[in-house]
Amino acid sequence: MFTRPASTCAALPSASSPPVRERRRALGTRWRRLSADRQALLALAHLRNGQPYAQLAAGFGIGTTTVYRYVTEAVELLAALAPTLAEAVQAASIKAYLILDGTLLPIDRIAADRPFYSGNHKKHGMNVQVIADPKGRLLWASPALAGAVLDARAARQGRHHRRSHRGWHQLLGGQGVPGRRISVRAPLPRPKGQPLHRSHTKVRALVEQAIASLKSWLLLRKLRCSTTRITSLVQAVLTLHLASGRLRPRLRSAVES
């Protein structure tokens, strides 16, 4: 079912099961068609491989409506555990700088398509801002905005530069990111090839690794759900991605022993 490395797939269900288990305990649930571990695996299969509800229903032996309810519940629980911008900046307080960039998550064309059409990418989608550390590791992802929103406007709306400045960080952004704030360094509009541009681009290019990590979850490569659910999906993916990074060293040591 999974197309990712075995170590990653082994780590993620153990990271997503506890929230589901605690939720059932809080509700006093006695019996469900799937156990908490199986429900976590169901949500993981949907997020990781982008498998449709009908295919998941056939694989897990439950109804399509039940799949939708279980996945939605698990996604909301995981999204609530995603770090806020302040928490991400605080966790990266020892870093010299952070890197900010935006990416477009493609969506199906909808009736009110104009706000979601990105003239830069020539497609419909949702704009998500990403912050990475100097090594290109994903630290934080913003709430999803309509694709017509440019990176500069998205950064201003999220006030990423102000919040990062409170944490004494420098943010390296692209030309689309406003550089008026002291905490944001964006390339100046100079001819290409200048030394300043080359050094800035060389460092900022590492954020593409963080974006690639986000889009390695196949569901985010082509979203066919309501645009109101995309923020929760992105935050759930962020939670699982960060959890897999923390669990991977433990798995490696267990295998070696």
Domain identity same for 106 and 48: no
Q: Would you place residue 207 in the very low, low, confident or very high pLDDT band (cuts 50, 70, 90)?
A: confident
Whether the full predicted model's pTM is greater than 0.85, yes or no, is no
Number of domains in the chain: 2
Domain identity same for 92 and 183: yes
Contacts of 241 (CB under 8 A, 6+ apart): 138, 213, 214, 217
Instruction: Look at residue 231 and tell me if it is in a domain.
Output: no
pLDDT at 182: 35
Domain identity same for 91 and 42: no
Domain identity same for 195 and 151: yes
Instruction: Look at residue 235 and tell me if it is in a domain.
Output: no
Q: Residue 47 has which token pair?
A: 């997020």
Q: What percent of the chain has pLDDT over 70?
A: 68
Domain identity same for 32 and 158: no
Domain identity same for 186 and 67: no
Question: What is the extent of the structural domain holding 48?
Answer: 6-81+246-256
Domain identity same for 134 and 21: no
Domain identity same for 194 and 207: yes
pLDDT digits (tens, 9 = 90+) for 31-90: 788 988 899 999 999 999 999 999 999 999 999 999 999 999 999 999 999 999 888 888
pLDDT digits (tens, 9 = 90+) for 88-136: 888 887 887 888 888 999 998 777 778 888 888 788 899 999 998 888 8
Domain identity same for 91 and 216: yes
pLDDT at 58: 96
